[in-house]
A and B are shown apart, each in its own frame.
Chain A
Amino acid sequence: MSGHAAHDSNAPHVVPISTYMLVFLALMVGTALTTWVAYIDLGRWNTVAALTIAVVKMSLVVLFFMHVKYATGLTRIVILAGFFWLGIMITLSCSDELTRHWEIVPQGWQMILPLVSRLF
């Protein structure tokens, strides 16, 4: 409880329909854009572009459709924790899989780049 009764300012926020429509349009444009970009030869950057657009689209859904823009800090921490732990899983698993056949002696941080580039 811890004082939840007092603040009705915490009551759910009514999002204007125009906002929903803008978000919807942006998502549709994003879908078209990501499809279009895939047909252009950007080399490695195709992967980067596709995933960047996906992250932007996800953020729009989370912030507006799922009302996180108007939510408490607790909700945001919960979501960030989910992605943080996903990051742990991916990063540390890759730390094995990408360096397993690393025959050269690593010298300095720039050695990381060719490893990461194996992912895309």
Chain B
Amino acid sequence: MAAHSAHPPGFAHQFETVAQQREAGTLGMWVFLVTEILFFGGMFTSYIIYRSLHLHSFIQGSHELIVKFGATNTAVLIFSSLTMALAIRTAQVGKSKGQIIFWLILTMILGAAFIAIKLRYEWYRDYVEGLIPGVSWLDGGTHTPGVKMFMCFYFFMTGLHALHMVVGLGILTVLVIMTARNKFSSQYYAPLEISGLYWHFVDIVWIFLFPLLYLIGGRYPGS
């Protein structure tokens, strides 16, 4: 394949042009994100249906959650999306690798902060209060089956989301290493770009989880 020898690093033999490779990578990530929409979608569908079956209990259950932590975490994730977008932009305009790494690490710190807040101020408290299904489960008491069902979905959905965050942090680690090894330039930064799509998607899931779990039904007195 002598004709291909002029291509930049990261070029794969099955493609004819660099543009073709970039388009394929981006399309592939979008198709993957569609599978993620439907993966979380099965959970959202179940949540919608069970909420309609146990409306009162689900509102009661959502009052077990603390809005300020949910809201803080939403802000943290949105901020991390901004830093991710800036990391890609930095590579796009050909800035130094130190600047790319700065934005990537900042994104990782924010992602880790999200998980830390979730663990320390939310899940740990739920554990103490006996709200975690299967692990520490409050038998009897005032919790109706509907509230327990809500707590199941709360943990499954936030747990699945946190799992995606952890995967995202792993991807970001790889990106930092690749950047440090000069893999990227203003000509080739596709891994940054498609990893960014994934990171933003995880953000979007939380943008929906926050109102669905913490807010809808209202937090005003008597709701």
Binding site for B on A (CB under 8 A): 1, 4-5, 8, 10-12, 14-15, 17, 20-21, 23-24, 27-28, 31-32, 34-35, 37-43, 46-47, 50-51, 53-54, 57-58, 61-62, 64-66, 71, 74-75, 78-79, 81-83, 85-86, 89-90, 93-94, 97-98, 118-120
What 1/0 mask marks residues of chain B from 186 to 207 whose CB sits below 8 Å from any chain A CB? Answer: 0000000100110011011001
**Segment with Cβ contacts to A, from B86-94, B110-118, B141-149:** B86-94
Q: Give 17 pairs: A residue, B residue, CB < 8 Å, sorted on A.
A: A14-B89, A15-B89, A20-B82, A20-B86, A24-B79, A28-B75, A31-B78, A35-B67, A37-B215, A46-B218, A54-B210, A65-B85, A65-B196, A79-B34, A90-B45, A118-B55, A120-B216
Please tell me if the beta carbons of A82 and B82 are within 8 angstroms of each other in the complex. no
Query: With a CB–CB cut-off of 8 A, which chain B residues contact A83?
Result: 37
- Measured CB to CB, the closest approach of chain A to B100, in angstroms, equals 15
Residues of B within 8 A of A54 (CB): 207-208, 210-211
Report whether B34 and A81 are in contact in the complex, using a CB–CB cutoff of 8 Å: yes
Q: Is the CB of A94 within 8 A of B49?
A: yes
CB <8 Å contact, A98 and B218: no
- Is the CB–CB distance between A38 and B219 below 8 Å? yes
* Pairs A-B, 7 closest by C-beta atoms: A82-B34, A50-B211, A82-B37, A38-B215, A46-B218, A86-B41, A47-B216
The answer on a CB contact under 8 Å between A51 and B216 is yes
Does more than half of chain B's interface fall in helix, strand or loop, or is it mixed?
helix
- Cα A75 to Cα B207 in complex, Å, equals 21
Distance in angstroms between the alpha carbons of A115 and B56 in the assembled complex: 16
The docked-state distance in angstroms from the alpha carbon of A57 to that of B197 is 16
Contact A38 B19 (CB under 8 A): no
Query: CA A114 – CA B215 in complex, angstroms?
Result: 23
Partner of B38, one of A28, A57, A66, A82: A82
Contact status A34-B211, CB under 8 Å: yes
Any chain A CB within 8 A of the CB of B168? no
CB distance from B30 to the nearest CB of A (A): 5
Closest B residue by C-beta to A5: B17
Q: Are B48 and A94 in contact (CB under 8 A)?
A: yes
A35–B71 touching, CB < 8 Å: yes
Distance between B79 CB and nearest chain A CB, rounded to angstroms: 7
Shortest CB–CB separation between residue A19 and chain B, in angstroms? 10
B42 proximity list for chain A (CB < 8 A): 89
A-contacting 9-mer, from B20-28, B121-129, B159-167: B20-28
B48 touches A119 (CB 8 A): yes
The reply to whether B38 and A86 contact each other, CB–CB distance below 8 Å, is: yes
CB of B217 within 8 A of chain A? yes
Is residue B52 within 8 Å, beta carbon to beta carbon, of the partner chain? yes
Q: Is B119 an interface residue (CB 8 A)?
A: no
B49, B53, B67, most chain A CB atoms within 10 A: B49
Q: Are A61 and B45 in contact (CB under 8 A)?
A: no
